[in-house]
Amino acid sequence: MLSAATRLYERVAAAGCSQVEVFCKRSRSRTTRLEGSPAVSPRDSPAGSPTGSRPVRHEANSAEQGWAVRAGGEPGSFFAAATGPPEAAPSDWPPASGGPLRLRSEDAGAGAAAAPRPRSLDEPLLGPGETSTLLETIRRELQREAPGARLVRCVVEDGAAECCLVSSELEVREWRLRTAALLVEAALGDLMSRLYVAAPFARELRAQAVARRVASSLLLDREAGRFDRDRCEVVLAPQVGGRLLSLLWRELGQLARQGALSGVDPCVTLLEDARLDSGPLRAAYDGEGRRCGRTVLVRDGVLLDAAAALWPAPVGDRSDPGFPAGWSQRPSWRQPPTFAPTHLCIAPAPRTAPAALVGSVVRGIYLVRIDHVAPIPPSGSDPRQPSHRLLASGYEIRRGRAVRPVRAVGLEIGLAQLLEAVRAVGRDLELVPARAGCFGAPTLLLERMPLG
């Protein structure tokens, strides 16, 4: 694949383009779906009771290959992409109708460290027997934790990819990727719950933990009441903290440029790490071929200069070469690179158990799910104003114990409010996949927050 990509690069460069980038990707995946599971299994159902229809299972293996070209210069540029090997690329290219193109070069000193080979990169895709065990475990645990619940849909996807990039601004790049994802949808009466998780390898997907979370979500909806306090301590589950980061991360650069972030507790360290060992998008290079590393944005509560480089966000191909490596995502060859972090997360505290954070709350709330999000229109140029209004569900805490489920807890928040409110972090980091990139947090203890 690399030799074909190099020949394609030479063809485009010969057409007179001053900057040329050729990206090629070859991938394979195995997808298994289980749909229409009964509410209870025939073995566990009482005599004479209906069990519903048998679950329907679908399996599919797929393999595809594609290429993409970005080329041009200051006057203009073009982007072209297609499915198939690079040898099948056309001889005629589209007109340079795009904006100026500035391909990114390597950060100074980035080449000193060799790119590590991800562990188990050659591990085979999940086999049919292993997939059956995973799906059956989820179905069984769901029904055990929430009697009467049924698995509406469960999708397991395990994939591997090889990538190469030839650029006028970089050395030739070759790297490989592994990603697995699990989608679970379940119902309990008229209530529905959905959970999507990802991991580097399908064998790292924890079936029992996933089923328990889905069951807990269904039971919470069935039993939850209103929360009547307007201000209290708040504990955020990792999936809630990660989701909030995915909504708010773009505010960081402006906060840094204007020096508008202060009073952050030393327990808070915010970083981007494309090589994070547990990261579903772990890679040696980002979507533009630059060697990835670890970028610390907030260390021990102090905002660092690297955060100021993230604002304003680039648009399209007109990206600023000053942005750190690791902030360019390329989920597919069909689109140009997208500005987004690979794994942006609040670092965990290795010695702090999540239960200790919950146990420290005398009267408060533990939020485990965000149900609704709406942006708040800006009322000025102050980057500290709340940017999102959300409704969440969780559990009321009294004297360190969850006493009842609650729902429709309102909270107005921006990135400044989130980071400045954190008073302690747990050790249970979890990464949440988003449209572009992954975002993570451990359990977070926030100071008294206004609720609505």
Which pLDDT tens digit goes with each residue over 352-372? Answer: 999 999 999 999 999 999 999
Average pLDDT for residues 409-434, to the nearest whole number?
A: 94
Domain shared by 291 and 214, yes or no = no
- Looking up residue 215, the CATH number of its domain turns out to be 3.30.2290.10
Higher pLDDT, 28 or 46: 28
Domain shared by 205 and 233, yes or no = no
Domain that holds residue 279: 225-450
pLDDT at 160 over 60: yes
Terminal CA-to-CA distance of the chain, rounded, Å?
56
Q: Is 310 helix (H, G, I), strand (E, B) or coil?
A: coil
**What's the Cα-to-Cα distance from 145 to each of 102, 133, 216, 425, rounded to whole Å?**
54, 18, 8, 28
pLDDT at 39 over 80: no
Smallest CA-to-CA distance from 396 within 241, 238, 221, 229 is with: 229
Smallest CA-to-CA distance from 354 within 402, 300, 425 is with: 425
Higher pLDDT, 53 or 272: 272
Domain shared by 266 and 409, yes or no = yes
Please identify, among 223, 244, 261, the residue that sits at the C-terminal boundary of a domain. 223
Domain shared by 46 and 87, yes or no = yes
Please identify, among 180, 198, 223, the residue that sits at the C-terminal boundary of a domain. 223
Domain shared by 153 and 231, yes or no = no
Average pLDDT for residues 109-120, to the nearest whole number?
A: 48
pTM: 0.87
Domains held by the chain: number = 2
Rounded Cα distance between 35 and 41, Å, is 14
- Report whether 182 contacts 210 (CB < 8 A): yes
Higher pLDDT, 203 or 331: 203
Average pLDDT for residues 42-66, to the nearest whole number?
A: 66
Domain shared by 198 and 107, yes or no = yes
Please identify, among 223, 257, 278, the residue that sits at the C-terminal boundary of a domain. 223
Domain shared by 67 and 182, yes or no = yes
pLDDT at 41 over 50: no
Smallest CA-to-CA distance from 345 within 210, 252, 209, 265 is with: 252
Which residues are CB-neighbours of 153 under 8 A, at least 6 positions away? Answer: 33, 34, 35, 183, 184, 185
Q: Is 233 helix (H, G, I), strand (E, B) or coil?
A: strand
Domain shared by 240 and 370, yes or no = yes
Domain shared by 165 and 284, yes or no = no
pLDDT at 2 over 50: yes
Average pLDDT for residues 68-80, to the nearest whole number?
A: 87
Burial class (CB in 10 A: 0-12, 13-18, 19+), 447: middle
Domain shared by 251 and 282, yes or no = yes
Rounded Cα distance between 403 and 155, Å, is 34
Domain shared by 173 and 248, yes or no = no
294-326 per-position pLDDT tens digit: 889 999 888 887 787 776 655 444 445 556 777
Average pLDDT for residues 251-263, to the nearest whole number?
A: 85
204-217 per-position pLDDT tens digit: 899 999 999 999 99
pLDDT at 450 over 80: yes
Burial 361-375 (b: 16+ CB within 10 A, else e): beebbbbbbbeeeee
> What pLDDT score does 124 carry?
80
pLDDT at 402 over 70: yes
Average pLDDT over the chain, rounded to an integer: 86
Q: pLDDT-based confidence at 101, cuts 50/70/90?
A: confident
Average pLDDT for residues 209-227, to the nearest whole number?
A: 93
Q: pLDDT-based confidence at 405, cuts 50/70/90?
A: very high
Of 33-37, 52-56, 244-248, the poorest mean pLDDT is in: 52-56
Domain shared by 268 and 201, yes or no = no
Average pLDDT for residues 431-437, to the nearest whole number?
A: 88
